[in-house]
Amino acid sequence: MSRLSHPIVPQALFLDRDGTVIEDRHYLCDPDGVALLPGVGEALKRMARAGVRLFLVTNQSGIGRGYFSEADFRACQARLDDLLRPYGVSFAEVRFCPHGPGEGCACRKPGTGMWEELRAARNLNPARCHMVGDKPEDLLFAINAGFAAAFLVRTGHGAESAVKLGLAPTDANRARITPQSLEAAGYPVPPHIVTRLECVPDLTAVAEATGL
C-alpha cells in the first residue's frame, strides 16, 4: 500500500469509536462487550509514539434514547482504556454526543460542536488534524471542521458506507473519495472543501498512509 505523496504526520487524530476502534455492538452498554478491532492497538501505538495526539469523538444517541446511561458509556470507555493500556496508548480527551438525530444539537457529528470545544481547549489547528471513522458523517465532520484529511475505514459500517459512495465493500488498497460521491449518496457537501478524503481497509492502513 502506498503512502500519501507527501505524508505529513498530523498534530492530532480524531477517531470515531464503534466500528473504528472497537467492534460495533448495537447500542453498546456492557463493558464485557468492548473488543478492539484487529490491529488497532498497534496502529494507535505507532501514532502515539510519533507524537500524534489521539481524540475520541463519538455519537452515543443510545443515552438520549434511554437505552443506556452515561454511567454505562463511561464504564465501557474505562474498559477501552484498559485494553489500550498495554500498548502505551491513551486518549488525550474523549468527547461524546448523547443526543438523538432529531434533537437539533450542535455536538452530534457531522456537526462540529465537539471539535469546537476541543479546538479551543487544546489549541488545535484544523489544517494539522485528521479524522477516521466508518460512516459518511465522520467524513462530513472533518470537512465541516476544515481538517486536512479524513479516512473512511471499511471496518464496522465502513463496507456499507463504501458501497453508498460507489466503492467496493472490500479492497486492500486505498481509494479516493470525491465530494461528488458524497453528494450523490445524499450527503450535502459545502463548496471549496480542503479535506482530502480516502477509503482504507482499517486503522493500520491509516498509519501507513500518514507515513508511520
Q: Which residues are catalytic?
A: 16, 18
Report residue 200 as a C-alpha cell.
Answer: 482504507
What is the arrangement of strands in the sheet containing 196-200, beginning at the earlier edge strand?
93-97, 53-59, 12-15, 129-133, 149-153, 196-200, 175-176
Report residue 198 as a C-alpha cell.
Answer: 480516502
Residues 6 or more apart whose Cβ sits within 8 Å of residue 191: none
Q: What ranges in the chain are assigned the alpha helix state H?
A: 40-49, 61-64, 70-84, 113-122, 136-145, 158-164, 179-184, 203-209
Q: Quick count: other Cβ atoms within 10 Å of Cβ 187?
A: 18
Q: Are 139 and 3 in contact (CB under 8 A)?
A: no
Amino acid in position 182: L
Q: Are 150 and 132 in contact (CB under 8 A)?
A: yes
